[in-house]
Amino acid sequence: MSNLTDLTMAEARDGLRAKDFSAVDLTKAHLEAIEGAGALNCFVTNTPDLALERAAQSDNRIGSGESGSMEGMPIAVKDLFCTRDVQTTASSHILQGFTPTYESTVSQNLIDDGAIMLGKTNLDEFAMGSSNETSYFEPVVNPWRREGDDTPLVPGGSSGGSSASVAARLCVGATGTDTGGSIRQPAAFTGIVGVKPTYGRCSRWGIVAFASSLDQAGPMTRTVRDAAIMLGSMASYDPKDSTSIDRDVPNYEAELGKDVRGLKIGIPTEYRVDGMDPEIEKLWSSGADWLRDAGAEIVDISLPHTKYALPAYYIIAPAEASSNLARYDGVKYGLRVSESDDDITELYEKTRAEGFGTEVKRRVLIGTYVLSAGYYDAYYIKAQKVRSLIAQDFTNVFDKVDAILTPTTPSAAFGIGDRTDDPISMYLNDVFTVTVNLAGLPGISIPAGLDANGLPLGLQLIGRAFDEQTLFRLGSVVEQAAAFKASPVNWWSAAS
């Protein structure tokens, strides 16, 4: 038996079906890997007992021929998804100790399909960040290192615990959420696949809200096929989420290997930003070549308002967040900081001052300001108008092309602490991903190569709303052509 933790989801599924190993075997192997990966700090909460219990149940179902699409799959769940009777923190001090009495729709869908949760992964506090450094529970460390260099690198964010645990073979897949790039950017930084589905494809019910009009859950896996399998389970129409869309979930896996000849792929001029890393530019044109070789047609397109996406995002997302985070007030759950003679306002102010970290406070303040009397039109309404233009840009080009190819990130993973002094330089990580959230479209990041330092780089495909199928078809072509087989060298077991 090969190392069980090296199996992809599809391979593990075949192995379980063939009874080469049991779900308990598979789960144990991953739990052991997690135990040996403390140095990566991927998890906020580990749930080994629950995992083994569910794995045993999974084996029973396999035995009686009742396997679900995710049967026996050991997965990690971003600690932004509420999980029944398992602490859910959003990596914030303010939610420490909070144990939901309910299960998010997405994680319930995964459970219903037989998936086994190994634990809750670390993230940027309330998903606000691109490096996982804003977590109250300390940064996650990227399993990848530059060649010949022990500098600890960030795993990307906000789904950094999820990306690192998938890359380090601690689980076969993980859930992420993506508000401005929080699935795709960490996927690119850790050499894995990440999908941000169309807004409304996965239910937001039970996911701690950051920016409601942008948040969307998605899978993080090591292959495109695994992402297709996992998204098929996560996606559903949910009448408990008014922004969820009542559409059948297609068989995404069936799209893999389908012909891409004749599909038109747009290359947006505006993504060729000044001072772009030549390695990334080269990878991007390789991606276009691979798709052309497979029979797709490459077309230059223009998305003229791209430049304004990040500034618009940094008005809209903080505005929504400032309101969404008002419920963390020390009354109903989580942290409460109060002296005996404090009044209610002092209780609120102290609890929130101590419970929120610097980046969260910064965004709550920005959001409060842009919504406040006298500034609402100049900032919030203006940003929503620009958002309309950005969405319109995509509508215009999708008359001509079937998908858009871009780099996922402007750089490879950087060192922990390298960008924490300048918020805007950190925000620029999402320059290629954030447009997709603003327009509500699906996007996929596929590991496509290594830079000169041996760090992974990703390519992003953007599709029409509810056309994840085309992304999987094209993504599979890119994946095969890139033949990305690299994995991080395990240094952490020794360090843990």
Partner 1 sequence: MSVDIQTVRRIAKLARIQVSENDADLESMTTELNAILNWVEQLEEVDTSNVSPMKSAVETSLFQRADKVTDGGYPEKIVKNAPRAQDNMFVVPRVVE
Partner 2 sequence: MSNMQERRGQVIQGVTGDWEVVVGLEVHAQVASNAKLFSGAPTTFGAGPNENVSLVDAAMPGMLPVINQFCVEQAIRTGLGINAKINLKSVFDRKNYFYPDLPAGYQISQYKDPIVGEGVVTVDLADGQSVDIGIERLHLEQDAGKSTHEGDHSLVDLNRAGVALMEIVSKPDIRSSEEAAAYLQKLRAILRYLGTCDGNMEEGSLRADVNVSVRKSGDPFGTRCEIKNVNSIRFVAAAIDYEARRQVDLIEDGGEVDQETRLFDPNTGKTRTMRSKEDAHDYRYFPDPDLLPLEFDQSVVDEIARNLPELPDQKKARFIEELGLSAYDAGVLVSEKETADFFEEAAAGRDPKIVANWTTGELFAALNKSGQSLSDCNVSAKQLGALIDLIADDTISGRIAKDVFEIMFEKGGNPAEIVEERGLKQVTDTSEIEAIVDQVIANNPDKAAEVKTKPKAIGWFVGQVMQASGGKANPKAVNEILKRKLES
Candidates 213, 411, 420, 453; binder of partner 1 (CB under 8 A) is 213
The listed partner (partner 1, partner 2, none) that binds 495, CB under 5 to 8 Å by sort, is: none
Q: Is residue 393 involved in binding partner 2 (CB under 8 A)?
A: no
Residues 408/449, Cβ–Cβ less than 8 Å: no
**3-class SS of residue 377:** helix
The listed partner (partner 1, partner 2, none) that binds 271, CB under 5 to 8 Å by sort, is: none
Write down the residue that tokens 């073979």 correspond to: 169
Candidates 380, 414, 427, 432; binder of partner 2 (CB under 8 A) is 380
Of the candidates 409, 405, 496, the residue with the CA atom closest to the CA atom of residue 455:
409
Candidates 369, 418, 487, 491; binder of partner 1 (CB under 8 A) is 369
Q: Is residue 96 involved in binding partner 1 (CB under 8 A)?
A: no
Quick check: is 244 catalytic? no
Q: Is residue 45 involved in binding partner 1 (CB under 8 A)?
A: no
Element (H, E) at 176: strand 173-178
d(CA 114, CA 280): 39
d(CA 46, CA 65): 29
The alpha carbon of residue 166 and the mean position of all alpha carbons in its chain are separated, in whole angstroms, by: 11
d(CA 234, CA 6): 23
Task: Pull the structure tokens for residue 150.
Answer: 């022990």
Considering only the stretches 266-274, 280-288, 344-352, 451-459, report the one whose residues sit in contact with partner 1 under the rule CB under 8 A.
Answer: 344-352
Phi then psi for 196, rounded to 5 degrees? -105, 105
Who contacts 162 (Cβ-Cβ below 8 Å, separation ≥6)? 42, 76, 78, 121, 123, 174, 175, 176, 186, 220
Considering only the stretches 23-31, 47-55, 343-351, 358-366, report the one whose residues sit in contact with partner 2 under the rule CB under 8 A.
Answer: 343-351
Considering only the stretches 51-59, 69-77, 282-290, 342-350, report the one whose residues sit in contact with partner 1 under the rule CB under 8 A.
Answer: 342-350
Task: Pull the structure tokens for residue 493.
Answer: 């077991």
The listed partner (partner 1, partner 2, none) that binds 90, CB under 5 to 8 Å by sort, is: partner 2
Candidates 366, 448, 450, 455; binder of partner 1 (CB under 8 A) is 366
The listed partner (partner 1, partner 2, none) that binds 209, CB under 5 to 8 Å by sort, is: partner 2
Q: Is residue 200 involved in binding partner 1 (CB under 8 A)?
A: yes
Closest CB to partner 1 among residues 353, 489: 353
Task: Pull the structure tokens for residue 423.
Answer: 């918020």
Of the candidates 322, 418, 408, the residue with the CA atom closest to the CA atom of residue 364:
322
**What is the total residue count of the chain?**
496
Considering the candidates 28, 78, 120, 196, report the single residue annotated as catalytic. Answer: 78
Considering the candidates 107, 158, 163, 236, report the single residue annotated as catalytic. Answer: 158
The per-residue b/e assignment along 413-446, b for 16 or more CB within 10 angstroms, e otherwise, is bbebebbbeebeebbbbbbbbbbbbbbbbbbbbb
Residues 102/86, Cβ–Cβ less than 8 Å: no
Considering only the stretches 328-336, 398-406, 425-433, 448-456, report the one whose residues sit in contact with partner 2 under the rule CB under 8 A.
Answer: 328-336
Whole-number Cα distances in Å, 79 to 44, 107, 127, 170, 449: 7, 11, 10, 16, 29
> Which residues participate in catalysis according to the annotation?
78, 158, 182
Q: Which residues bind partner 1 (CB under 8 A)?
A: 97-99, 101, 199-200, 213-214, 239, 242-243, 245-246, 305, 307-308, 311-312, 314-315, 322, 326, 329-336, 338, 342-350, 352-353, 356, 361-362, 364-366, 368-369, 372, 375, 378-379, 381-389, 391, 423-424, 438-440, 465
User: Where on the chain is the footprint of partner 2 (CB under 8 A)?
Assistant: 81-82, 88, 90, 95, 98, 100-102, 104, 204-209, 211-213, 239-243, 319-320, 322-323, 325-327, 329, 331-333, 344-345, 348, 368, 371-373, 376, 380
